Amino acid sequence: MHIKKYAACVAMGVMSFFTANAQDIMPEALPTRPTAERIVKEVAPVGAVQQVAAEVKEASVPYNANFGESVVQTALQYLGASYRSGMSGPYAFDCSGFTSYVYRKQNVSILRSSRSQYTQGTPIARISDLKKGDLVFFGGRGNSRSVGHVGIVMDVDPSGNNFSFVHAASGGVKVSDSSEAYYSRRYIGARRIVEN
């Protein structure tokens, strides 16, 4: 009971402290009502500011066209190379072994597995924003919702709905299209590994 009374007294003391401080503010330091209304109208709502900031951030993902082109040209040199699980070149590759090898040829070190590569760089949300050299990720055979495959963007269709990519898959290093039934069902997302 004594504790409750003590807590109530402390709370009243804090309230009176803040009330007294608020009353001590000189009235001439506060804006008049018309001024306050004008300020409120001129300032955008916080939600709108955050939304604009998010749009700018997504639109301003850095991209180096020379680097992207070089990544693609390097990848295409290995068309037809064999697929071997656990291999990372130069004569045989698995999917992430291929992407890590191609990037290493550009003096850029990325992690070895497709799942870990999916944590690197900057996510690219829309297919229409993809560029040459970006990494694209797909679900695996066993679980289409978990990253299990990776490739390198070669080109994006003008419609912005599909892209072609070079990758190491069964049958070896080849070029595929995201519109193919197997890949369209399994597409998970993309990452841009930037090198300026």
Q: Which residues does the annotation mark as catalytic?
A: 95, 149, 167
Neighbours of 36 (CB within 10 A): 11
User: Long-range contacts for 52-58 (Cβ within 8 Å, ≥24 apart)?
Assistant: 58/125, 58/129
Q: What residues does 138 pair with on adjacent strands?
A: 149, 187
Pairing state between β 135-139 and 187-192? antiparallel
User: Which of 102, 73, 85 is closest to 148 using CA atoms?
Assistant: 85
Place of tokens 């709108």: 48
Q: Are 132 and 125 in contact (CB under 8 A)?
A: no
Place of tokens 């992407």: 99
> How many whole angstroms separate alpha carbon 133 and alpha carbon 13?
64
Q: What residues does 136 pair with on adjacent strands?
A: 151, 190
Q: What residues does 169 pair with on adjacent strands?
A: 172
